Structure 1
Amino acid sequence: MKAIVPLFLFLATALVAPLRADTAPGAPAAAEPIRITITSRYNTQNRQPYNLREFFKRHPLVRLEQWDGIRMPAEGSRASLAMAMAANIGPDIFETDIRQAVEQGLAYPLTEWIGEDGVLKNGQPKLKADGTPDRNGQVDEDEAKWDGWMKIKPLYRQVVTVDGKVYSLPNRSGTYVGILYSYRVLRRAGLDPAQPPRDYDEFITWARKLYDHEARTFGFALTPQSWAFAPWVATTGSSIVVQDRVSPTTGKTYTFNEQETRLVAPDTGEDLAGAPVSWRCNVASPECSAAVAFYHRLRWQPWVRHPESGEPIELTPEQASAGQAEVAGEVVTFDPADVVEGCIDVSTERLLDVFRRLGRELGMYPLWAGDMTDFENIGVQPSDLGMMPFPPMTREQRPVLQASNSFFMIGKDVLARGGDSDEERKAYRNLVWEIMTIVCSVEGNDEAIRRKVAAGQARFLNPRDLRRLNFDDYLRESPKEYLAMWDKIDSGEILEVVEPFMGKWLQFRDFYQREVIDLVLRPSGRHFDFQTALVNLERDANTGIMFERPQEELDKHRPKARIIVAVAAFIMGCFLLLIIRDQLRKTPSTVGVVRTVFPWLMLAPAILSIALWRYYPLAQGMVMAFLDYKIVGHSPFVGLSNFISIMLDPNFYHYIVTTFKFVLWNLVLAFFTPILLALLLTEVPRLKVFFRTMFFLPQMTSGLVVTLMWKDMFASRAEGTINRALNALCGLFGSSFAPVDWLGDPSTVMACVILPGVWASAGIGSLIYLAALKSVPDELYEAAALDGAGLISKIRHVTIPTILPLVIINFVGAFIGTFQSMGSIFLLTFGGPGKETMVMSMAIWQEAYVNLRFSLATSYAWILGSILIGFTFLQLRVLRRVDFRRAQSE
């Protein structure tokens, strides 16, 4: 990877360079502009703030340009940045998971401008009274060289610091994730925004009162996105990540929430800020599980309105089917048809479509917002919008509002840019740093706030910003409930948190959503065992996804791993020897073969190209499996550690089983269908060309288009093509139809990811078998007919034996190809729901381009290749015995 990508870019540059002419021949050389690039999180095409415009006036040669790498779909978008960094063409300023960027060596530390833990701002070491280094993992005021450091929120300072070094800056003031609501819809349901729900039970009551029984629409919607779920975990009093600190005096371990800053032992009062700390994922704890159970209750708990008071009554499934329930000593009867399942809508549509519903039938929706004017340009009236915190699980906990932000870093490539001398490169880095501080400063956001105040929108703005900018006179225009919320945040009555930041959170949250939250909210999630899923997810998080498996655990299994690898290598070697022996036994004819060097010269370009682009990466990949591969920097040799990690991972065995299940389904549905279709087309008495053309036409369509078309057809909504067709069919027979979650139900998803390929490829496969059927002599059919054979007997005793060599060849090729196939899974499910379609090839892609663990991905590929080498040997032996003939046309 490190050698090939720069070589490719060099060749491309060499080809393109002659086509460019920046200056006319003989003209004096003009000063070259200094181009500094930034990723698309900051849009350089928007109106630039005043302080940045002033910077460009002082530096007229500096250009701030948008950097957009190769766009990769789904969660793989982070790999685009990593690959660019590996080729030394990455952006100067970028945004991604901080700790993953630090681990891979992508980020340049900001030490030379901000300082670091344990070093005073004058450069002297910071020492305790006893002369030992004074380090607490953070850059304190006496250590900070940059005046702006202490103006950043303490929580954000904690987020951007890794092992005592600062790697990032928060982007301006950020936004807040809360529950947006519509005054109009809430008041229509008799709910007072000034008295928000005080616990989960009251919140569920609010959601049920927002339900419109006539229109049968929900007034509260949830999204399966994990950023919207993380605040609910904080409302339980726990956190997704926790820190274990060991007391140096007692040896006792104390557990604190990730964002806890008061690290004091509750029993002894000992300050544990400098104690040894270890971080771990905590999603399977009773508190974190309670937040998932709350989602399940919102989605699936049946309830009914009291016939007289109209108050919602929560029911058990038995009460819902019986049509009566006892409430406060009163037996309430109702029609089971009036029972409502759940009290929320699940939003998987575009955000713009959600906002079109907000203020109409939709009354509440969790989302981020800087102020209530953020959505005005898409038609939402800011006067109808408000925000409330996430209610606590019980009244003993505090409500939660989550601060949300992006964090910019300086790319490691700045070290080689700006010129040939150290002074020029240092000057270039200073320019990048100055631009990043301006981009991240609050001045740009303050400029927008002042424009909104001047436009008469002060009542919709954040009261904190109004006070900070001395617009206190406008606070009287703000809604009282909005002011009260921010006052409670300042007083500590409402807990302000940030998204988890330790470990690889941006990587983990994709798994959190796909394997737990999404499955709870799906139409097939009523009986989903989320507790087991959380236990498995926590295990995966603490053994690679979020935090690496401890080295001591790997070392325990190393002797056993050496034995297993030796046996596997011996078996693979035997297969290779058998293949080589079979090839050496052949004595091909050399009649007419040119023995000069000319044929080798003709073959040289192809051989070199294949060696460079196929075998050299293959050799590099073989070595990579034994390294802790880093995209940038040194990749240490770790021996069998990657293979041990795989063997200790229960997911690996699940991937193997899923892969064989996928291959089996493919062979049943995709391999035998063309054979059957060819036999049917052979027996069609009329319009043979028409039918063959109709079945071949899907082959003319792009596989991507075919898969996306089927994805729309498989939509779980009632408007999905297949669900709509089945609903119409059931309507003809007078029966009701519940929409099927085709891609979310484990019982149907495997067939669904295979069907698009069957539909698209059956035509071309059937034509191949049609050609093979022409090689069956008519005399055999006539002889079979004379013996009294019917159609089935002819196919069994004549047709199949004759075309059997072709069937075997295609079978072996399809078997191996299916093992490596993942295109439809990638586009339809990305391995979900949960891990139901996570085959080995998809797991390899995920490890490489989502988790950026290329060594582990290569180890997976080693194992997959070892499984397939036996089938390659079988294919070569079959091909050696095949007698190819030309089929006669009609």
Structure 2
Amino acid sequence: MFLHGKGKILTAVFLLLLLAALSLTAGKIDEVGDATIIQLIVWRLPDPTNPETSNRADCAVINEFIRLFPKIFAEKYREKYKDDPEKYGRYSWDNVKIQLRTFSGIQIEGMGMDSGPLMAIAGGVAPDILYVNFRQSDTYIQNGFLYPLDKKEDNYISGMTEEEKAFQFHPKTLPVIKRKGPKGEVHIWAKPTGGIMGKVILYRKDLLNSVGVPFPKNDWTWQDLYAACRKLTNPEEGTYGILFTGGMNESSNWINYLWSAGGEVIHYNKKTDKWQAVFDSEAAVEAIDFYTRLSAEPWKDSKGIIRYGYAVKDPSDWQKWNLGKIGFFASYIDEKLFQTINPDVLGMVPFPIGPGGHRAAELNSKMQGIFAGIKDPAIRDAAWEYLKFVDSKDAVEIRTRIMVEGGLGRFVNPKYLRMFGYDDIIRLAPTGWEETFNIAIASGKPEPYGRNCQMVYSFITKPIQKAERMEKDGELSAEPEKRRNQLKALLVNAVDIANEKMIGNVPPEEMKVRRIVAWVVLVLIFGTFALIFQKIIKTFTPKDYSVQKKKNGWQFQKYIWAYLILIPAVASVLLWQYIPLALGSKMAFQDYQLLENSTWSGVDNFANVLWDGEWWSAVWNSCCYSFLVVTLTFLPPVILAILLDEIPKGKIIYRVLFYLPAIITGLVVIYLWKSFYDQTEYGVLNSIVLKIPAIGYILLGLGLFILLFFFAKRLYSHQSYWVGSCFLLVGIALFLFSYSFAHNIFKSLPDSTAWYHYPFAVLWQPYEWLQNPKTAMLCCVIPMVWAGMGPGCLIYLAALKGISPDFYEAADIDGANFIDKILFIVVPILKPLLIIQFVGVFINSWRNSALILAMTGGSYGTEVAGLKIFFDAYTHLKFGPAAAMAWILGFMLIGFTMHQLRILSRLEFKTTGNKE
């Protein structure tokens, strides 16, 4: 009876969870009493608990729409719905209301609009109203995510008056929203919300005044910005010139300088109907040179410490801007509502004029569209009415009125103050802001919106970050012509990759060769998989299995309970592992589309992946990451367990100290270590490293080398040459790594430094732990080691208790030292456990990339294969190539897995220690 009642409870919980999951998928229509409720899910809605005036204005617009919707519905839709119940449903359409809900879903920090909506669509839980920006527009249109808004039968845009169209559609947005769809048809696919936005530069008046930098004017230039940033930057006081956005989308900062230099990101040829990346022009070289100087130009502060650049890029640096520690920051200015900032503290100015008198900056708009996956036309009609109302003249009047009543009317565009009769407020508006807005819009360039331009920033960011690294490492020439050639080469390579991967420009002859090679590789992959699975079956099949099976059969009656216990496990593995694997493998041979019909592409996905340099770079990064994870998370817990087992006193205290990090949540560990890795001298690691003299690093390296040398020596004496050589090589590697810090110290010293000062010299400049490709990967692994070493050593501590003291006593009699006991007693006895742990650590090192995503986002040489597959699938919607990558990765790992399974099949487990 108890089990029966518990089963009911579990069933009810399951149904509730299922209903909750279904409620997230899309809007729906419910009948509550005598009312019909249309539920609409919107990507973003204002928070009603936020008391800010601008937010209250947005909430007032939403509330007004909810209030007016029954009237709008009655006038435009009621009779039509009643006349066609087959199409619109058999609901009571006499009393219709609307309910708006905000979509909630997972996002990647720094890639919110590139990850969140696409993952929601891929997961089948897309909202009814999608947010769309210029860069995303082509991806959304060509993949069929957006419903056309100008179909005559719907009477959406066609039902608007010319006055309404002129008010809600800015001419500069039309090329973005009105374009060819996936079948070549021209439609309007999205609608601007909140007006058009232009990029401007905000500056801290208080900070500029404190160092004597004059406020910039509308005619300021690049050189004015550069000179101001140099004067503002003082790391000793924590002040910097300009705030940039870092990570994989860092190039969103740079394109404004590209346009101001007279260059373009991407070009459309109307005759051929093709797009082409063109950010490798001479103007682009000028722009990347200037941007690199702002970001990484070496200089010395008052203490002689070498600094790099005048910009900060980490997400945590936002706080410095709020505290008045950063001089400049690029931000948007909205057509409907200017920045609600304190004009006494912050100023606003257009982007500086570049070489040749050019001035341009990004133009964008918060566009919204209707999700094409909506099946119910009533929900789609409600979505259109929402889009139309929230940016209508009535809505703008409500926002303007509430802003004026809230004392913030001076931040409203004077154009709308005049329109709605608030002329007396105009004189209170911050001086020059209207002119700044007009310049920003007039000189603005639409954010790149060509073919697959959602990916464009990732392609442009790589040469920018490479140039910055070269500048900091002293690899960029000081000679202007040679320097330009180096920068040009970086851009040309990036443009070639972008035209191939983003635009899809591959010559037919080259594609033919790729397909031939892809067929050969596919035959190898499937042949290898077949052979390996045959060997796996043979390995785990008893020698007399066929005889026993013929004699006894499956013996269902005898082992009925065993079979019943196995069924849930086998079914679970089939359901969540092999069935998705089989269904997903089909994607590798398709141009897979989420909503449109997928087409077969043969071996093209494999052909392109095999020639994808970024993929093989990610594989190499995975090898490095796996080596670091195995080296630092597999061996140290073993060593720690041995040391803790040997401690004569205070064992419990030491074990608790080492285990404590495990109780900290992963999120806390990430933020804790990111603060440790702060690239200034005030970071925890830098504050330690900057105080250690060169001789300290040399002695540390020597100590590690000597320790491993003794291990190698003992192994050599017992003819274990291969293992001994590995210990010796690791010792040499650790010494060289430690010595590299001392080498950096020696390089930074002036030539006149006396020889006896060299050993006691310290690093002058802080180390960029996460921003330097040489250390970024290691820095991603260290938090894992710190948090996992304590729990990892527990299993080894338990195993060590199973080793009989007789072994140690016999070893002492034979004259064995501490190292001998480890090598010839502990390791052989724990070998089965070590092998099992090694297999798990190795496989997880290739699967686990979440920490890298959180620490660096895959930048600075840390994009591993798992992240590459994830980004291609869920942020670029290239599911076919991602599936092909997964197959190739599996082919590379299956051999190792087979080898480990064969070892595990031969293991025998016996009891050890005292049997009393």
Q: Same fold by TM (over 0.5)?
A: yes
Partner of residue 570, structure 1: 527
Does 1:547 find its partner at 2:498?
no
Partner of residue 846, structure 1: 871
Partner of residue 187, structure 2: 165
Match of 1:548, as an amino acid? G
CA contact (8 A) 1:85 1:632 kept: no
In structure 2, C-alpha distance between the alignment counterparts of 1:473 and 1:19, rounded to whole Å = 52
Residues 43 and 286 of structure 1, relative CA distance in 2, 3 Å threshold: farther
CA contact (8 A) 1:699 1:763 kept: yes
Partner of residue 762, structure 1: 789
In structure 1, C-alpha distance between the alignment counterparts of 2:304 and 2:538, rounded to whole Å = 75
CA contact (8 A) 2:338 2:411 kept: no
In structure 2, C-alpha distance between the alignment counterparts of 1:851 and 1:635, rounded to whole Å = 16
In structure 2, C-alpha distance between the alignment counterparts of 1:465 and 1:721, rounded to whole Å = 51
Residues 78 and 767 of structure 1, relative CA distance in 2, 3 Å threshold: same
Does 1:275 find its partner at 2:242?
no
Match of 1:437, as an amino acid? K
Instruction: From 391, 394, 398, give the equivalent of 1:447.
Output: 398
Match of 2:333, as an amino acid? A
Partner of residue 127, structure 2: 91
Instruction: From 825, 839, 848, give the equivalent of 1:798.
Output: 825
CA contact (8 A) 1:512 1:537 kept: yes
Partner of residue 745, structure 1: 772
Residues 184 and 37 of structure 1, relative CA distance in 2, 3 Å threshold: same
Instruction: From 600, 607, 611, give the equivalent of 1:644.
Output: 607
Residues 228 and 882 of structure 1, relative CA distance in 2, 3 Å threshold: same
Match of 2:149, as an amino acid? L
CA contact (8 A) 2:257 2:361 kept: no
TM, length-normalised to structure 2: 0.75
Instruction: From 505, 508, 532, give the equivalent of 2:456.
Output: 508
Instruction: From 372, 379, 382, give the equivalent of 1:412.
Output: 372
Partner of residue 670, structure 1: 633
1:334-349 maps to which residues of 2 (within 5 A)?
344-349=310-315
* Deviation of 1:157 (Å): 0.8
Residues 593 and 851 of structure 1, relative CA distance in 2, 3 Å threshold: same
Residues 609 and 185 of structure 1, relative CA distance in 2, 3 Å threshold: closer
State the SS of the aligned residue for 2:42. Answer: strand
Does 1:393 find its partner at 2:406?
no
State the SS of the aligned residue for 1:108. Answer: coil
Residues 430 and 113 of structure 1, relative CA distance in 2, 3 Å threshold: farther
What CA deviation, in whole Å up to 9, does each residue of 1:114-159 have, x standing for no partner? Answer: 99xxxxx99xxxxxxxxxxxxxxxx9x9x99976445522220111
* Deviation of 1:483 (Å): 5.3
In structure 2, C-alpha distance between the alignment counterparts of 1:9 and 1:547, rounded to whole Å = 51
What CA deviation, in whole Å up to 9, does each residue of 1:205-251 have, x standing for no partner? Answer: 343455679957345444445444332221011121122x3xxxxxx
In structure 1, C-alpha distance between the alignment counterparts of 2:214 and 2:305, rounded to whole Å = 26
State the SS of the aligned residue for 1:172. Answer: strand
In structure 2, C-alpha distance between the alignment counterparts of 1:755 and 1:767, rounded to whole Å = 19
Match of 1:389, as an amino acid? P
Partner of residue 607, structure 1: 570
CA contact (8 A) 2:589 2:880 kept: yes
In structure 2, C-alpha distance between the alignment counterparts of 1:184 and 1:669, rounded to whole Å = 48
Instruction: From 325, 330, 349, give the equivalent of 1:366.
Output: 330
- Give the number of aligned pairs: 774
CA contact (8 A) 1:79 1:852 kept: no
In structure 1, C-alpha distance between the alignment counterparts of 2:331 and 2:342, rounded to whole Å = 16
1:214-225 maps to which residues of 2 (within 5 A)?
217-218=239-240, 220-224=242-246, 225=250
State the SS of the aligned residue for 1:574. Answer: helix
Match of 1:368, as an amino acid? Y
Residues 373 and 161 of structure 1, relative CA distance in 2, 3 Å threshold: closer
CA contact (8 A) 2:225 2:352 kept: yes
TM, length-normalised to structure 1: 0.77
* Deviation of 1:523 (Å): 11
In structure 2, C-alpha distance between the alignment counterparts of 1:455 and 1:766, rounded to whole Å = 61
Partner of residue 881, structure 2: 856
Residues 565 and 397 of structure 1, relative CA distance in 2, 3 Å threshold: same
In structure 1, C-alpha distance between the alignment counterparts of 2:820 and 2:587, rounded to whole Å = 55
Partner of residue 48, structure 1: 60
What is the percent sequence identity of the aligned residues?
A: 26
CA contact (8 A) 2:336 2:396 kept: no
Partner of residue 699, structure 1: 662
Instruction: From 34, 39, 44, give the equivalent of 1:35.
Output: 39
Partner of residue 257, structure 1: none
In structure 1, C-alpha distance between the alignment counterparts of 2:147 and 2:239, rounded to whole Å = 51
* Deviation of 1:788 (Å): 3.0
In structure 2, C-alpha distance between the alignment counterparts of 1:747 and 1:573, rounded to whole Å = 39
State the SS of the aligned residue for 1:105. Answer: coil
In structure 1, C-alpha distance between the alignment counterparts of 2:12 and 2:867, rounded to whole Å = 28
In structure 2, C-alpha distance between the alignment counterparts of 1:506 and 1:9, rounded to whole Å = 43
State the SS of the aligned residue for 1:793. Answer: helix
Partner of residue 91, structure 2: none
Match of 2:273, as an amino acid? V
CA contact (8 A) 2:45 2:101 kept: no
Structure 1's unaligned 5+ residue stretches are 1-7, 21-26, 116-120, 123-138, 246-273, 304-319, 321-334, 418-424
In structure 1, C-alpha distance between the alignment counterparts of 2:566 and 2:822, rounded to whole Å = 46
What CA deviation, in whole Å up to 9, does each residue of 1:819-850 have, x standing for no partner? Answer: 222132122112221xx111111212222222
Does 1:438 find its partner at 2:389?
yes
Instruction: From 38, 57, 62, give the equivalent of 2:97.
Output: 62
In structure 2, C-alpha distance between the alignment counterparts of 1:790 and 1:354, rounded to whole Å = 56
CA contact (8 A) 2:297 2:471 kept: no
State the SS of the aligned residue for 1:36. Answer: strand
User: Does 721-730 or 851-860 show the bigger shift?
Assistant: 721-730
* Deviation of 1:167 (Å): 0.8
Residues 28 and 692 of structure 1, relative CA distance in 2, 3 Å threshold: closer
CA contact (8 A) 2:37 2:96 kept: yes
* Deviation of 1:642 (Å): 1.0
Does 1:204 find its partner at 2:226?
yes
Instruction: From 278, 284, 297, give the equivalent of 2:280.
Output: 284
* Deviation of 1:100 (Å): 1.6
What CA deviation, in whole Å up to 9, does each residue of 1:3-58 have, x standing for no partner? Answer: xxxxx9998569659999xxxxxx99523211122111666774232863563351
Residues 734 and 570 of structure 1, relative CA distance in 2, 3 Å threshold: closer
In structure 2, C-alpha distance between the alignment counterparts of 1:773 and 1:57, rounded to whole Å = 74
In structure 2, C-alpha distance between the alignment counterparts of 1:36 and 1:44, rounded to whole Å = 17
* Deviation of 1:170 (Å): 0.8
State the SS of the aligned residue for 2:572. Answer: helix
Instruction: From 178, 181, 197, give the equivalent of 2:203.
Output: 181
In structure 2, C-alpha distance between the alignment counterparts of 1:203 and 1:500, rounded to whole Å = 25
Does 1:72 find its partner at 2:107?
yes
Residues 665 and 189 of structure 1, relative CA distance in 2, 3 Å threshold: closer
